[in-house]
Amino acid sequence: MSYSILVVEDDPDLSLLLQLELQAEGYTVKVVQDGMQGLIEARQMQPDLLVLDRSLPRMDGLEVCRRIRQTSRTPILMLTSFDQIEEKVEGLDAGANDYLTKPFHIEELLARIRSLLRTYQEQAPTRLRFADLDLDLLSRQAQRGNSTLNLSTKEFDLLVFFLRHPNQVLPKSRIIEAVWEWDYNGEDNIVEVYIHNLRKKIKRQASQPQLLHTVRGAGYILREPGN
């Protein structure tokens, strides 16, 4: 199996070195050199692992890490030029799985990547379930009961976000940040429109209870009736 790795590193010499070394190990590699583009690529590419520099233009690595963690459990190896313990704690608290200080030996980086991939493949869920909803994250297929749901890419991402935060009131601003990111063009009612369409698609039969609820003035919640 060839794993895919996204490298977000603004040093052109280091990013080229990482690309060549990782490709030599058999990985499929994509390199970008700023935080904003890294966030976009992470959502589109869905890599098996992310190598993320802490200090990046347009959006720093900590913020990229926090935003990715809202919807993804992809393992993240953070790189930094800082050796202070406070810097490492910040990176780990932001959601990084491991931390490597520059300069480093390439063999150590490769060993850490192998370790993260082993751990992730052993632990990562490939399905999300809530009530009679069943989402397959690998095939990106969704079912309710025995019926397959015909969801758009954004509808699927939205439903994943709700299933990862069940029984929690999710404000509109948090939903936009997690699901739309830089695709958001400022439309005031975009979340309402997608929630409306998603409700219709997951409640196709009158006998099925509604699972997506509006909490007036606060946001939306995925919960079973009576809870």
Mean pLDDT of the chain: 90
CA distance 212 to 108: 46
Q: Per-residue pLDDT for 139 more than 90?
A: no
Least confident window among 10-14, 123-127, 160-164: 123-127
User: Could you tell me if residue 13 is inside a domain?
Assistant: yes
Final residue of a structural domain among 95, 123, 151? 123
Residue 116 tokens, joined? 């993260």
User: Residues 78, 177: one domain?
Assistant: no
Q: Angle 138-144-149 (CA atoms, 0-180°, nearest 5)?
A: 65
Question: DSSP assignment, residue 3?
Answer: -
Domain CATH for 58: 3.40.50.2300
User: Residues 191, 87: one domain?
Assistant: no
Sorting pLDDT into bands at 50, 70 and 90, what band is 205? confident
Q: What are phi and psi of 12, to 5 degrees?
A: -65, -35
User: Residues 116, 133: one domain?
Assistant: no
Quote the pLDDT of residue 72.
83
Name 95's Cβ contacts closer than 8 Å, sequence gap at least 6: 65, 66, 68, 69, 76
Final residue of a structural domain among 77, 94, 123? 123
Alpha carbon 38 to chain centroid distance?
A: 12
Domain CATH for 210: 1.10.10.10
Q: Per-residue pLDDT for 128 more than 80?
A: yes
CA distance 63 to 183: 17
User: Residues 27, 104: one domain?
Assistant: yes
Does residue 12 have a cis peptide bond before it, meaning omega lies within 30 degrees of 0?
no
User: Could you tell me if residue 100 is inside a domain?
Assistant: yes
For the chain, what is the domain count? 2
Residue 62 tokens, joined? 């900590």
Tell me the per-residue pLDDT of 141-196, one tens digit each, with 9 for 90 and over: 999 998 999 999 999 999 998 998 899 999 998 888 878 865 566 677 889 999 99
Segment 17-44 shows an average pLDDT of 94
Residue with tokens 């406070």: 86
Sorting pLDDT into bands at 50, 70 and 90, what band is 46? confident
User: Residues 118, 138: one domain?
Assistant: no
User: Residues 76, 168: one domain?
Assistant: no
User: Residues 74, 172: one domain?
Assistant: no
User: Residues 104, 17: one domain?
Assistant: yes
Closest CA to 104 of 83, 75, 118, 127: 83
Q: What percent of the chain has pLDDT over 90?
A: 65
User: Residues 57, 142: one domain?
Assistant: no
Tell me the per-residue pLDDT of 67-117, one tens digit each, with 9 for 90 and over: 998 878 899 999 998 888 898 899 999 999 999 999 999 999 999 999 999
User: Could you tell me if residue 82 is inside a domain?
Assistant: yes
User: Could you tell me if residue 227 is inside a domain?
Assistant: no
User: Residues 117, 144: one domain?
Assistant: no
Quote the pLDDT of residue 70.
83
CA distance 162 to 168: 8
User: Could you tell me if residue 86 is inside a domain?
Assistant: yes
Final residue of a structural domain among 96, 123, 150? 123
Segment 110-130 shows an average pLDDT of 86
Residue-range definition of the domain harbouring residue 79: 4-123
- The distance in angstroms from the start CA to the end CA of the chain is 43
Coil/strand/helix, residue 218: coil
User: Residues 142, 192: one domain?
Assistant: yes
User: Residues 8, 119: one domain?
Assistant: yes
* Residues making up the chain, counted from first to last: 227
Going from the C-alpha of 32 to that of each of 112, 198, 205, the distances in angstroms are: 21, 33, 45
Residue with tokens 């809870």: 227
Segment 50-65 shows an average pLDDT of 96
CA distance 96 to 91: 6
